[in-house]
């Protein structure tokens, strides 16, 4: 029987090695995880960051760090390809990034936030740091106050709450497209 959409083989996926990945140009996005409680969510961020060639992940506060069995379960080793670091205080990280000229964006439901659906084209020409908050309290208010911008994912259900790793995938895919980083293909 002829298959209408045959799956790609591992060879057809044209995967790169970890060493090759380290030498590739990266998307000018830094992910900052503010006190993420679930190591599984952290692992998911690593996998998404690998898929989109995100420059770096900064793990802050109580956020788990590799090596960790729960991170490994969802990251599938992506913490070996994606550059990462740990910092105790998220606010200090945001302040340092801003001094380096990085545009900081908190992902949060907040007054005066920008709806993700309204970001239709490249809105910043430099490096971006995207801050994701923990699963209960979101991004710390002091961190939001120091951010250059706040983006919200529109939602129409009863919960108005997405899993943080799901939010990460949505936001990073959208930003990747909006900065039109065509050099990654």
Specify the 3-state DSSP secondary structure of 58.
strand
**Can you state the angle between helices 39-51 and 164-178, rounded to 10 degrees?**
20
Predicted pLDDT of residue 176: 87
For position 180, what pLDDT does the model report?
A: 59
pTM for this model (two decimals): 0.92
What span, in angstroms and rounded, lies between the C-alpha atoms of 172 and 65? 21
Q: What is the pLDDT along the chain (185 residues), one digit of tens a residue?
A: 778 998 998 888 888 999 999 999 999 999 999 999 999 999 999 999 999 999 999 999 999 999 999 999 999 989 999 999 999 999 999 999 999 999 999 999 999 999 998 876 556 678 999 999 998 999 999 999 999 999 999 999 998 889 999 999 999 999 888 775 444 44
Q: Which segments of 7-139 does DSSP mark as H helices, in order?
A: 18-23, 39-51, 69-75, 90-99
| Strand ranges (E), the chain | 27-34, 54-60, 84-87, 103-107, 114-115, 128-133, 149-152
Res 122: pLDDT:
56
Structural domains in the chain?
25-184 (3.40.1280.10)
Model pLDDT, residue 117: 86
For residue 126, the 8-state DSSP code is S
User: 55 exposed, middle or buried (CB, 10 Å; 0-12, 13-18, 19+)?
Assistant: middle
For residues 34 and 144, what is the distance between their CA atoms, to the nearest angstrom? 11
């Amino acid at each position: 029987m002829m298959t209408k959409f045959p799956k790609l083989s591992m060879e057809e996926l044209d995967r790169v090695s970890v060493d090759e990945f380290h030498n590739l140009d990266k998307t000018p996005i830094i992910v900052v995880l503010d006190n993420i409680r679930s190591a599984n969510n952290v692992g998911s961020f690593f996998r998404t960051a690998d898929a989109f060639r995100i420059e770096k992940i900064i793990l802050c506060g109580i956020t788990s760090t590799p090596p960790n069995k729960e991170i490994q379960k969802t990251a599938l080793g992506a913490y070996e390809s994606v550059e990462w670091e740990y910092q105790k205080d998220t606010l200090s990280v945001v302040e340092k990034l801003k001094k380096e000229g990085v545009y900081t964006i908190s992902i949060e439901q907040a007054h005066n936030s920008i709806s993700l659906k309204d970001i239709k084209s490249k809105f910043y020409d430099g490096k971006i740091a995207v801050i994701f908050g923990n699963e209960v309290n979101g991004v710390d208010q002091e961190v939001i106050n120091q951010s250059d911008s706040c983006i919200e994912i529109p939602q129409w259900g009863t919960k108005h709450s997405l899993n943080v790793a799901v939010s990460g995938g949505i936001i990073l895919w959208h930003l990747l497209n909006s900065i039109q980083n065509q050099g990654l293909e």
